[in-house]
Structure 1
Amino acid sequence: MRRYLPFIIFILTCFSASAQQYLLSGRITGQKNEPVSFTSVYIRNSTYGTTANEEGRYQLKLNPGTYNITYRFTGYREQTESITITDHNEVHDMQLADEVFKFSQVSEKWKENLDPGDTIMRMVISRRQAHMKEVQGYSCAVYIKGVQKLLSSPKALTSKAVIAALDLDSNGRGILYQSEMLSTLNFERPNKIREVTIAAKQAGVNTAFDYTKASDLQVNFYNDVFKINGLSSRGYISPVASNAFDHYNYKLIGSTIQNGRTVDKIEVIPKRENGQYFVGNMYIVEGDWRIYSADLMLTNKRSSLNLVDTLKISQQYIPITDSVWMPAAVQLNFKGSVLGFKFGGYYEGIYNNYKLNPSFPKGFFNGEILRIDTAANIKTANYWNTNRPLPLTRPEARDYQKKDSIAAYKKTDAYLDSIQHTKNNINYFTYTIFGYSASNRAETDSLYIFPFLQTFYYNTVEGFGINAKVKYSHKIDDLHSYAITPAVRYGFANKLFSANVLAEYFNNPFRNSKFYVNFGSDVLDLNNVGTRSLYFNTLSTLLYENNYVKYYRSQFGGFGYQRELSNGILWMAGLSYSSRTQMYNNAFGHLFDSKNRNYTSNNPLAPANAPADDRSFLFPQHQALTFNTSVAFTFDQQYITRPTGKFNLPSKYPTLTVNYRKGIKSAFGSDVDYDFASVDISQSNMSIGLSGFSSFKLTGGDFFRNNKLYYMDYYHYLGNQGVTFDPTYIGSFHFLPFYTYSTNGAFFEAHYQHNFAGSILNKVPFIRKLKLEEVIGANYLTTRGNPNYKEFYVGVQRLIFRVDYGISYAGSKKYIQGFRIFYGIR
């Protein structure tokens, strides 16, 4: 508790009311009595404030005294009122006057310039680096509010049951989801972040996107590229980027005086019809040449947004000191439409009580970018009523009350009993592809049955077979759990029965720590990194008479352990013993009569013309005692700490993995005797500005002692044969045979792929609407026996669907070319 005390005191200072505090509240309207939503309201010459809600209502908790309260929103004249708080709550409504921007005498100096807007923005861009470096670090309190609403529904698709379930009105409107968060945010240049969430609340079902931490909602237009998590895989060019004049024109709309400062309104005009560009207005403080506020928009038609059709971003800066301005509030307002359902909503961020350039203790920024307090999700309604700075609207308050009541009812025995049977009902379609899951009421025990597609199979070694596999999991407490996965397998052609068990014990989710033990018998792929799934091998064998996968029999036992030694360093080690036996083809059935195609031998090294019933020798029956270990180093590993454990985030730097494997001779009759080591370095989804993202993997290794090893001990590659492929792993090949290049010597492989995320096809009319992502890539492999294998490919992707066309070369000769497809099933 002591470690959280400073944060608790800090947030209570920002948002809570004591016995001496009173409520200043009111409604903010325009000249036509319309509510001015999200108006910034703050104490002048301070960093404490709030914003109004959608209805224009605001509230501030203040000690007795006299305050200069500033009311400010883009498009309205900033106004400051002197308000005295005595011994009771105070109501102060505010009517804002429209702001008039004009070419007044203050702006005469721009009249001689042909493009005054361009000139002003050049001054801002020339100062952007200085503004970015005004503070080396800060701490502040952050409140984030999110609301997602259904704005209208097609009557033909909205039944009474749907209206009741979503609590919609007669016009098909209602709140789908709400979220709130209170946290402290700490920042140090250039990009160090650490945040602590003190309170969090959600109600409803998130149907679009969400911001679960304050750093997700940070808006900084001084950066060259502005990124929006969840809405686009590409960035957007800031209107004040260093190269902004390559993409934007600027028009001076006019100037006004705000608190003695001249503020210019600049219209932002993209030079191209389509691209990663904003439209809207920037408001610039003359002399300082800094952003006063921003009111910008992105549209799906222009900028290929995902999930939504329009996104409006508004931001207000306030002076913290004479030379430092910081964001006081940011709003993201969005709208979209799916199948006639129109939705919209907003995310509002309020930043309070800035402390500039604090002295952070050594080691404070340790990679933990977010810690969620153990009590964050169990705050009471009274706590939120006391501490939220943004008052709820009437529909929001009603929605919370109803959904809180529903959530409480769903925890009762009566409700849990009523839904238990329904919850665990099997859906045969989803079971076929994804499997079936069931759990008890308390969700401490769960059962998962593996998909039907992986249960029944056919191959030329076993014929038709059954591979029944289930996983039972038990949660002991929040920090300890175990899982047991038994499997049985039977081939009807060779009449061979196999059974095995994998047991795992998870004992420290903050260290990613687990023990495992496995034993039994199984039919395994000679390529130990995997070739084709049972499902795809069944299809290729029965439909196309291509028995790609080659099998052997193993009776085995082993155990292992993994643990994160420190942040970013994951260690794994295991010891296994197996008795391994060669297998042969026993089934040669065909669904279709074929005179031109024959099955191949189960020996991958047999000649291509070997008969299907080939019994050629690959390896003798033998025993193998094998030790393996690896250490993975993820540089600058960032993570989130929740009450239930540590969750690592993708790093912007590569991961280095060192692997070692040893075949131990003589012990327990072991026949193997070798040492193998490899090193790989990889990274996925490296952002390349506006041009999408890249992924790569480089691996090199050698058997520096290979006195005795067998084919399954070789180093194998994730090759591909057949039309389908799996692009989800960057270390895979498109055309490489599964077994031909496996080696017992030195090797080097390299993989690179770049996803342009629509940056090329987005420029093509009509095709732009498909939101296709362009992909290019190359794979390379060299071994002692097979040097310089190469692949090059191009493709297009949309969601889980992807089509590639590529060509491969074995040495200098063309090897294979053609299409490869992926549709989400591996």
Structure 2
Amino acid sequence: MKARLFIFFLAAALQVHAQTYRLAGRISDEKKAPVSFASVYIRNSTYGTTANEDGFYEFKLSAGTYNVVFRSVGNIERTEKITISNQDQEFNVTLANEPFSLQEEPGSGDEGNPGKDIIKKVINKREYYLNQVDEYSCAVFVKGVQRLTSAPQNLMTRDVRRVLQLDANGKGILYQSESLSKYNFRNPNWVREEMIASKTAGQNAAFSYNKASDLQVNFYQNNFEIEGLSARAFVSPFASNALRFYNYKLVGRSIKSGRRIAKIQVIPKRRNEAVYLGNVYVVEGDWRIYGVDLILTKEQANINLVDTLNISQQYIPITDSVWLPTSTHFDFHGNVLGFKFQGYYQAIYNNYNINPQFPKGFFNGEVMRIDTQASAKNGRYWANNRPVPLTVLEERDYKKKDSLFAIQHTPKYLDSLNKDQNGFAPLSYLIFGYQNYNREKRQSWYLDPFLQTVFYNTVEGWGVNAKVSYIKGFDNGQSYSITPEVRYGFGAKMLNANVGFTYNYNPSSQSTLSARFGSDVLDLNNAGTRSLFFNTLSTLFYENNYIKLYRTNFGVVAWQHELTNGLLLNTQVSYAERQQLYNQSFNHVFDNKDKTYTANNPLANPPTVESMLFPTNQALTAKASLTYTFRQQYIVRPDGKYIEPSLYPKIRINYRKGVSGVLGSDVNYDFASIDVFDDRMKVGLIGFSAFKITAGTFLNRKSLYFMDYNHFFGNQGTTFNPTIGSFHFLPFYEFSTNRSFIEAHYEHNFAGNFLSKIPFVRKLKLEELIGVNYLAQGKNSTPVSNTGLMQPVKGSYTEAYIGVQRFILRVDYGMAFDGNRKVVQGIRIFYGIR
């Protein structure tokens, strides 16, 4: 297999087994300046390369005579007949500037606009060219470079220069990457990539495209998303609706290889839309794309990370009727806090096969497989296999960083670095916790943040919840963890302790076995309420003791396994003794005379007087769920299988059984539900949506207690959890039910489509959102356990909200309705801490 892949990259189309020789040279313009990234390919083949930034190119060719095409946007295409004998050969080329002539033809043009007329003809054939090739395979070389060009002198300290590996002036290459892959594609969007070699050096400061699939640009598609640059999709100049977004101007025509090529300027009709500006090149008669040279700017398209991004792409004929890209190039510039950077990513496509005859089941969801030796290739391998020669600066940077890499990966250096990283930082521990990692033993200890360790509630009073996680990893990707937890409430003088164990025994099938046993204090609502930290704040400062607690002595065993790609099974069996708790402590920071702590019974009437919610009981419970991800995609790396974000919704079927009579269990019920959900559903140019729909019912409810009810992810307080499936204003316990229900959540992120058009506001790059949450239940009420307390059964509940967000900061304004009656409205905030 490796031998075939080696030949795949080195062989010219005709003589793959013969000895190869080096054809190299420099491509310059009429002023002797280098023509950077010019395309060079063998006519009537799919073997080609690209010049480097300094205009140097090289080929590996067998002896013979070749028609070599030299091509670059803005220059006259040149074809040279070159004979390779039995030695390396140097061939330099000068490309003249392209003289596009603007000669009108009688009767041509669309209302005096020939550029628009040409584009309309391309749009009419867009779908034909989009679907012309049903499948293909090719070799792809991806190269990326990021440089720092200037920086504020007061920030460019010696330590900063050392970490970024810059020169004395604070300049230099921050990051380089190269990869060699075999790329396989089938319409409409099936992909499978095999990366056989990968090399990186330095600190990735902007964004990284190291895979062939990262640089797949198809302007025959209506929209194109660029990961990280914007939450919006950008409209292709050839989209079916492109005439709504662009004006077109014919710059001129020229003849290339016997074909007439039209150069057309692309002009956005309006500012601040997700559109390009620049030039496109069209083969007249065929009305196909010859090449593009387009730009996205921060001012025009409101992009992130960089100030400008230039995308250029060139197509070559694979057959007389089929054209595919020979190269794609991303060039970017940016300025962050005075640090100016620039760089590029390029992809070169070779050895196209448009009739690969993929076997049945070839596209099985594995979108990427990285060879176990991909990152172990030495300098000689890269010298023989990279199709684009390194520049002098790139070669020097590689040597420097390879030397530093060797030093930085000696046991002495790694041990020293490990020791520094394990240093204790009080502020970091306060918010993020503390981790201690042992490199040699591949084990780590993690201590939960202080903010989640010390707490206060009205049941336990002040308390400590100390939780430590120990994780041990192995070379085969397996791991296990042990998590002991001790919780003590000083007010109730109550000690609880439990320990958990998880064994990840087959990462490729997400197979884990876990168990936990001991005692704990739990929330009556198992769907989600408030963290210990936020509950402490709301209780002490506002006398809002929202969460209601009970004590349990328990044991639980769980198993997870992926039955087949996309179908995940979760099972769990637990046994617990559950005991009701009551308020024991009534501390506060500000004594609010108008407020009184509520009882620990969420159904108490009146709410401030303690009463029994359930008797002490035993429960043996079995649970199972099946989650299916439609067309699940994943990457196989040497260290395991990694699931990619899903392009399609997921469906989950849940079943829960309360088993009566076994081990003294007091529960007897059956609950079933189904979830359909999608966290990020693309909606063309107007952003993306997320939704979750859940329907459930109790098939049998002979005996169950309040904690066995179906609970909902509510919220009471100013902060909220933005996870889809949660409510903004829903009380934590009031709507818990042992009847049938349906809940629905929908949220749409417009990705700045509206706010980006407002002066000054657009600079904030805010994303606007709207959403609605809905809940409906059965009409009959049922006693809670055997206490006689009645859980009031609600009808319908609805929330509607609007909001804005930027990174982890989000502010929503909404209102809630119980039936037709508005019950609450207000602002909800999220700032990264749940």
Q: TM-score, normalised by structure 2?
A: 0.96
1:695 counterpart residue number = 690
Q: Which of 358, 362, 365 in structure 2 is aligned with 1:364?
A: 362
Shift of 1:9: 4.6
Cα offset, 1:609, TM superposition: 4.1
Q: Which one-letter code corresponds to 1:805 in the other structure?
A: Y
* Residue correspondence of structure 1 range 82-161 to structure 2 within 5 A: 82-104=81-103, 107=105, 110=108, 114-161=112-159
Residue in structure 1 matched with residue 651 of structure 2 by the alignment: 656
Distance (whole Å) between structure 2 residues aligned to residue 36 and residue 470 of structure 1? 59
* Structure-2 separation of matches of 1:557 and 1:120: 72
Which string of whole-angstrom CA distances, capped at 9 and with x for unpartnered residues, describes residues 156-202 of structure 1?
Answer: 11112222332323432111111111000111111111110111111
Residue 741 of structure 1, aligned match among 722, 731, 735: 735
Deviation by residue 1:450-486 (Cα, 9 ceiling, x = unmatched): 1111000000001100000010000133232100111
Q: Is the 8 A contact 2:542 2:592 kept in 1?
A: no
Q: How many angstroms does 1:411 deviate by?
A: 1.9
User: Aligned to 1:214, which of 209, 212, 215?
Assistant: 212
Deviations 1:517-555 (A, max 9, x none): 100110100111121000000000011110001000001
**Is 1:11–1:183's contact at 8 Å kept on the other side of the alignment?**
no
Q: Deviations over 1:305-343 (max 9, x none)?
A: 110110000000001111110000010000110010001
Instruction: Say which of 794, 818, 823 aligns to 1:815.
Output: 823
Offset at residue 622 of structure 1 (A): 1.1
Is this contact kept in 2: 1:8–1:198, CA < 8 A?
no
Mapped to 1, the partners of 2:401 and 2:453 lie a distance apart of 41
Distance in structure 2 (CA, Å) of the matches to 1:382 and 1:50: 19
Kept in 1, the 8 Å contact 2:746–2:771? The answer is yes
Kept in 1: contact 2:444–2:470 (CA 8 A) = yes
The correspondence of residues 399-478 of structure 1 with structure 2, limited to 5 A, is: 399-442=397-440, 444-478=442-476
Closer, same or farther in 2 for the Cα pair 1:167/1:19, shift >3 Å?
farther
1:134 maps to a residue whose letter is Q
**How far did residue 210 of structure 1 move?**
1.2
Q: How much has 1:426 moved relative to structure 2?
A: 1.6
CA distance in 1, matches of 2:646, 2:3: 30
CA distance in 2, matches of 1:164, 1:618: 63
Q: Deviation per CA, 1:619-642, whole angstroms, max 9, x where unpaired?
A: 111111110000001111111111
Structure 2 unaligned segments of length 5 or more: list them. Answer: 779-792
The answer to whether the 8 Å contact 1:11/1:184 transfers is no
Q: Following the alignment from structure 2 to structure 1, what is the Cα–Cα distance between the partners of residues 145 and 306? A: 14
Q: Distance in 2 between matches of 1:338 and 1:443?
A: 39
Equivalent residue letter for 1:701: G
CA distance in 2, matches of 1:21, 1:271: 52
Distance 1:91 1:587, change over 3 A: same
CA contact (8 A) 2:512 2:561 kept: yes
Match of 2:332 in 1: 334
Local SS of the residue matching 1:477? coil
Structure 1 unaligned blocks of 5 or more: none
2:241 is matched with which residue: 240, 243, 247? Answer: 243
The equivalent residue for 2:631 is: 636
One-letter amino acid matched to 2:627: A
Write the distance in 1 (CA, Å) between the matches of 2:750 and 2:245.
Answer: 19
> Is 1:346 aligned to 2:344, yes or no?
yes
The answer for the alignment partner of 1:732 in structure 2 is 726
Q: Kindly tell me the number of residue pairs found equivalent between the two proteins.
A: 819
For 1:300-339, list aligned pairs within 5 A.
300-339=298-337
TM-score, length basis structure 1: 0.97
Separation of aligned partners in 1, 2:12 and 2:445: 46
Any idea what SS the aligned residue of 1:163 has?
A: helix
Correspondence 1:226 to 2:224: yes
Following superposition, the deviation at residue 358 of structure 1 comes to 1.9
Structure 2 residue identity aligned to 1:822 = F
Alpha carbons 1:17, 1:386 under 8 Å: kept:
no
In the alignment, the residues of structure 2 paired with residue 110 and residue 96 of structure 1 have an alpha-carbon distance, to the nearest angstrom, of: 31
Q: Map Cα deviations across residues 124-178 of structure 1 (whole Å, 9 max, x no partner).
A: 1111111112211111000000111111111111112222332323432111111
Q: Does structure 1 residue 165 correspond to structure 2 residue 159?
A: no
Equivalent residue number for residue 703 of structure 2: 708
1:394, CA displacement in angstroms?
A: 1.2
How many angstroms apart in 2 are the aligned matches of 1:20 and 1:685?
Answer: 51
Shift of 1:84: 1.1
2:534 is paired with a residue whose SS is: helix
2:78 paired residue number:
79
**What secondary structure does 1:318 align onto?**
strand
Instruction: Pick which of 470-479 and 337-346 moved more.
Output: 470-479
How far apart are residue 413 of structure 1 and its match?
2.1
| 1:801/1:823 contact within 8 Å kept | yes
Residues 250-399 of structure 1 correspond to what in structure 2 (within 5 A)?
250-399=248-397
The answer for the alignment partner of 1:191 in structure 2 is: 189
Quick one: distance in 1 between partners of 2:385 and 2:717? 60
Q: Which amino acid aligns with 2:662?
A: A
| 8 A Cα contact 1:17 1:387, kept in partner | no
Compute the displacement of 1:209 (Å).
1.1
Change (3 A) 1:758 1:444: same
Please state whether the residue corresponding to 2:221 is helix, strand or coil: coil
Deviation at 1:270, TM superposition (A): 0.8
Indicate the residue corresponding to 2:781 in structure 1: none
- Structure-2 residue corresponding to 1:574: 572
Is residue 2:802 matched to residue 1:794? yes
Q: 1:211: Cα distance to partner?
A: 1.6
Tell me, yes or no, if the aligned pair for 1:625 and 1:670 is still in contact at 8 Å: yes
**Letter in structure 2 aligned against 1:369:** V
Amino acid at match of 1:759: N
Following TM superposition, by how much is the alpha carbon of 1:593 offset from its aligned partner in structure 2, in angstroms?
A: 2.2
Partners in 2 of 1:283 and 1:216 — Cα distance? 23
Q: Which residue of 1 aligns with 2:52?
A: 53
Verify the 8 A CA contact 2:12 2:61 in the aligned structure 1.
Answer: no
What is the rounded CA distance, in whole Å, between the counterparts of 2:552 and 2:765 in structure 1?
47
CA distance in 2, matches of 1:793, 1:415: 53
User: SS at the partner of 1:358?
Assistant: coil
Q: In the alignment, is the contact (CA less than 8 A) between 2:9 and 2:385 conserved in 1?
A: no
Contact kept, 8 Å, 1:750 with 1:781, in 2: the verdict is: yes
Aligned to 2:768: 774
**What amino acid does structure 2 have at the position aligned with 1:534?**
L
Matched, 1:505 2:516: no
Query: Which amino acid counterpart does residue 663 of structure 1 have in structure 2?
Result: G
Report if the CA contact (8 A) 2:75-2:95 is conserved.
yes
Aligned to 1:722: 717
Letter in 1 for 2:706: Y
Helix, strand or coil: the match of 1:630? strand
**SS at the partner of 2:159?**
helix
Q: Would you identify which runs of 4 or more consecutive aligned residues in structure 1 move more than 6 Å?
A: 14-19
**SS in structure 2 opposite 1:249?**
strand
How far off is 1:402 after superposition? 1.4
Task: Tell me the distance in 1 between the aligned counterparts of 2:819 and 2:161.
Answer: 64
CA distance in 2, matches of 1:747, 1:20: 73
Change (3 A) 1:456 1:112: closer
1:112 positional shift: 9.3
Equivalents in 1 of 2:554, 2:11: separation in Å? 61
Instruction: Report the more deviating stretch, 801-810 or 642-651.
Output: 642-651
